[in-house]
Structure 1
């Protein structure tokens, strides 16, 4: 029996890429970090070649910038980049939701209801990191039932940047959690009521609010950097 190539162990590059991607999207490697090929290779117990290749893959996702003679930098997003990302996210999520409601509303509603219940439990237990991961799953559910693989691929290409923003700028603020909870509940209810306009309107308002939080976070970082530079 021949062994399917998909069953083979991941390459060193793939493993390095996966570990670095997870570290960036969960905030362990934060914005502003400088990564050295040598240091990362020593940490992972490998040569610099797979690390270099992993850096190039991360750069293609817009998560890092490779700076010759210096290393790999995790850049702070600009206000324009945040605006562009959120504008695209609104369009993709609203369109995917429309398709999902048309093609498999039952599956969509079941998935969202389950995820929302888990989010409620994590919020009550103050497990904010898990809550944010479930928040990500909630929005991805729009694409699972949409029946369009290309749409899923497009969203997948920007999802790591969405996750990194969430990890770096979301905070355990109870007032914001209440607002987030109400917005997610409204989306689930609108879908149950077959009210696509209400659902997409809530998505638009939700992502626009999140955009403003991220933008404020970037502005605060700029002000802090300017203050430190003047010391």
Structure 2
């Protein structure tokens, strides 16, 4: 039987893209890194062509900048870019939350309660990589239950940038971890109480606080490295 497209193995470009995307969103390839087609190709054991194509795909997600004659750069986000991203996050998440509570409140509550319980298990053994993944799952639950796949697709297009910010600026700080925990707990409780207004206010405050942490991190980097002043 002839294999269908779904049965075929991933292309070299797709594999290179997946590996680079994971490395950037997990912070293994940090902001400020310059990526060489030749070096990445040698690391992956492939030619430069699939690496170049993967770079173009990453650029379309806003994760890298391709600089002619120089290479592929993972840029530091500007404070304005962080503000714009967080403003859009607030609007999308609050809207998805409203739809989810109207259409699938029980499903939403079950999903976020399960994720929050996993977050609670980490209180005495904080592993920030795992916590970041759980944090991502918590917020994506609004879109999984909202009954609007297009809304989820829009959020999904932003998600890599959100993950990269978490990986680069959400350090394992015990005090911030406690605040984050309390905010997520408040959101779960508000959904359980069918209190959309309270849940939305907490989401707004939560993302605004995260925005300020990221913005402070960028400003600190600029002060320590004058070459970033124009970024």
TM-score, normalised via structure 1 length: 0.97
Correspondence for 2:98: 98
Cα separation, 1, equivalents of 2:92 and 2:227: 38
- Per-residue deviation, 1:198: 0.3
- Per-residue deviation, 1:141: 0.5
Correspondence for 2:163: 163
Correspondence for 1:79: 79
1:227–1:29 CA distance, 2 compared to 1 (3 A): closer
Moved over 3 A (4+): none
Tell me, yes or no, if the aligned pair for 1:55 and 1:66 is still in contact at 8 Å.
yes
Tell me, yes or no, if the aligned pair for 2:25 and 2:160 is still in contact at 8 Å.
yes
Provide Cα deviations, 1:160-214, integer angstroms capped at 9, x if missing partner. Answer: 0000000000011111111000000000000000000000000000000000000
Cα separation, 2, equivalents of 1:93 and 1:228: 31
Cα separation, 2, equivalents of 1:138 and 1:187: 10
Q: Determine if the alignment matches structure 1 residue 107 to structure 2 residue 107.
A: yes
- Per-residue deviation, 1:228: 10
Q: CA RMSD in A?
A: 1.3
Provide Cα deviations, 1:29-58, integer angstroms capped at 9, x if missing partner. Answer: 000000000000000000000000000000
5+ residue gaps, structure 2, are: none
Q: How many residues align?
A: 229
Correspondence for 2:119: 119
Correspondence for 1:138: 138
TM-score, normalised via structure 2 length: 0.97
Cα separation, 1, equivalents of 2:194 and 2:228: 52
